């Protein structure tokens, strides 16, 4: 139900509308991607805790990853990379992140640097 409510709300938003977030003034795609990220990562947390397999759709994972973490390494498994970007796992050649953040403002505003 929450996903339906958020989807209905975002469908009503003009393309230039922005909303405050501590990590940047997000547009509708930023808010949608943050919601997807939360659902994907926390569903995985719950599944792991309960010992239940969870295999999300890679199209959703990749879209979320590219929208929120444009600096994420390419050429890796998208799901493992999303977990890495959220500080949940290491990747080959990339240690687990102790600090992480989203880029929720429009991608056109990303300065090309990995946030520190």
What mean pLDDT is reported for the chain? 93
Residues across the chain: 116
The percentage of the chain sitting over the pLDDT mark of 90, rounded to a whole number, equals 78
pLDDT at 1: 67
Percentage of the chain beyond pLDDT 70 is: 98
DSSP SS3 for 22: coil
Tens-place pLDDT, residues 55-76 = 999 999 999 999 999 999 999 9
- Strands of the chain, DSSP E: none
pLDDT score of 55? 97
8 Å CB contact between 87 and 100: yes
């Amino acid at each position: 139900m929450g996903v339906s409510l958020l989807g209905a709300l975002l469908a009503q938003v003009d393309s230039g509308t922005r909303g405050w977030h501590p990590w940047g003034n997000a547009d509708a795609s930023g808010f949608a991607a943050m919601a997807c990220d939360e659902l994907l990562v926390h569903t995985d947390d719950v599944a792991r805790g309960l010992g239940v397999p969870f295999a999300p759709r890679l199209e959703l994972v990749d879209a979320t990853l590219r929208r929120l973490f444009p600096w994420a390494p390419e050429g890796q498994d998208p799901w493992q990379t999303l977990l890495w970007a959220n500080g949940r796992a290491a990747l080959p050649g990339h240690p687990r992140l102790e600090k992480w953040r989203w880029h929720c403002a429009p991608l056109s505003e990303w300065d090309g640097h990995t946030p520190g």
